[in-house]
Amino acid sequence: TGNVTLDVGFVNTASCKSSITYIDGDAGILRYRGYPIDQLAEKSTFLEVSYLLIYGELPSTSELADFTERIRRHTMLHEDLKDLLQAFPRDAHPMSVLSAAVSALGTFYQDSLSITDRDQVELSTIRLMAKLPTIAAYAHKKSQGQPTLYPDNQLGLVENFLRMTFGFPAEDYQVDPVVARALDQLFILHADHEQNCSTSTVRLVGSGQANLFGSISAGIHALSGPLHGGANSAVLSMLADIHRSGDDVDTFVKKVKNKEDGVKLMGFGHRVYKNYDPRAAIVKKSADAVLKAMGVDDPLLDIAMRLEQVALTDDYFIERKLYPNVDFYTGLIYKAMGFPTDMFTVLFAIGRLPGWIAQWREMIEDPATKIGRPRQIYVGATERDYVAADAR
């Protein structure tokens, strides 16, 4: 294996050059295309940030209007794709449904599968941005045994998604602007995060020149695990468990420190941030504000705050530089909005989609791109002779 270097988990290996997202993990800095995340979260919108990530610059008013309009025209799903969604078991995890449906888009839209034709890549981009919220809402409706709603294209992307998720046919569903703005902001915070597990997956699959739908479908599965996007659901289950056990935060933290049964403090720690995750700081403020605005008094918020307090002053967490990450407080907001726990990671996927697309496009357009193909250190048996079955 010559001069191959072992780097389990790619802790020190850069797989590409990228001009999309900048992170300084020690300083707790995150920027999309140079713009600080706190400015974008406060002043921008999810669609504007999506444009920024995918095309590299903030859009002019007419560019944003055009982007929004193109997405608006693609929000419907093919009726046969709806049938496909209906075929899944009702208790299917919505992340599996999401990934399967995105993969299936490649069968419905064979006219935009080319990876070298820019117009086709653009069309796939718009189709994904438009259809993922519809697929997500339908996955939720399916799990509830409720009828689906067609998209209402008078509404913006987030409002439309909320209506398709929580509305009923022939009923006038009014979107709460506080909820819509909070969700839009959460999507901005999740929109990209350089070469994380799911984004690296999207790039790796795409590096073999698989189409955009297939690459994103793989990324959705990568996101689903509890160490990655699935952490937002896992945090809520953890908080609920602590609540059921009589709010005993100290005993739980002791368990984590003793690594009993591999218990971790979910929503804490990050491969890159060795300081407070700047996204978590924004989410924490927003959790407090949104829950108040919605009149929700959730005892789990109190437990989360106490957990954070205990962890931030405990040597175990200080020595290992473990701080709350973006997933620590998001679940509480999603819960207050009425989403079931299983849907939390789906919301992460909707937010992360423009980042995945931007990274995939950057890779395809980069002449330096090669197929991703890590090496290994072989530690198995040396050469030995085949033995017939009756002689083993």
Calpha distance 150→132 (Å, rounded): 14
Q: What is the DSSP string of 243-290?
A: HHTTS-HHHHHHHHHTTGGG---TTB--SS-SS--HHHHHHHHHHHHH
Among 349, 351, 366, which Cα is nearest to 185's? 351
The phi and psi torsions of 75 (rounded to 5 degrees) equal -75, -20
Is residue 190 part of the annotated active site? The answer reads no
Q: 93, 193, 270, 277: which is the annotated catalytic residue?
A: 270
DSSP 176-234: PHHHHHHHHHHHHHHS--SS-HHHHHHHHHHHTT--HHHHHHHHHHHHHSTTTTTHHHH
Tokens standing for residue 328: 């620590």
CA dihedral 300, 305, 311, 313 (to 10 degrees): -150
Of 148 and 232, which has the nearer Cβ to ligand CMC? 232
Shortest Å, Cβ 86 to ligand CMC: 30
Looking at the Cβ atoms of 51 and 356, the one nearer to ligand CMC is 356
The owner of tokens 């072989």 is 378
The residue (of 256 and 304) whose beta carbon lies closer to ligand CMC is 256
Three-state secondary-structure class, residue 353: helix
Among 195, 258, 196, smallest CA distance to 231 is for 196
Minimum distance between the CB of residue 200 and ligand CMC, rounded to whole angstroms? 11
Query: Which is nearer to ligand CMC, 231 or 350 (by Cβ)?
Result: 231
Catalytic residue at 288? Answer: no
Per annotation, catalytic residue among 184, 192, 277, 327: 327
Name the residue nearer to ligand CMC (CB basis): 113 or 307.
Answer: 307
Shortest distance (Å) from residue 149 CB to ligand CMC: 30
The residue among 164 and 326 lying less far from ligand CMC, judged by its C-beta, is 326
CB of 350 to ligand CMC, least distance (A): 14
Minimum CB separation from ligand CMC for residue 364, in Å? 24
Helices (H), the chain: 37-43, 46-55, 61-72, 79-86, 94-108, 118-144, 157-166, 177-190, 197-207, 212-224, 231-244, 249-257, 278-293, 299-312, 315-319, 327-337, 344-365
Which residues of this protein are in contact with ligand CMC, per CB under 6 A? 9, 196, 227-229, 231, 256, 264-271, 320, 322, 325-327
**Smallest gap from residue 9 Cβ to ligand CMC (A):** 6
Q: Whose CB is nearest to ligand CMC?
A: 269
Catalytic residues: 270, 327
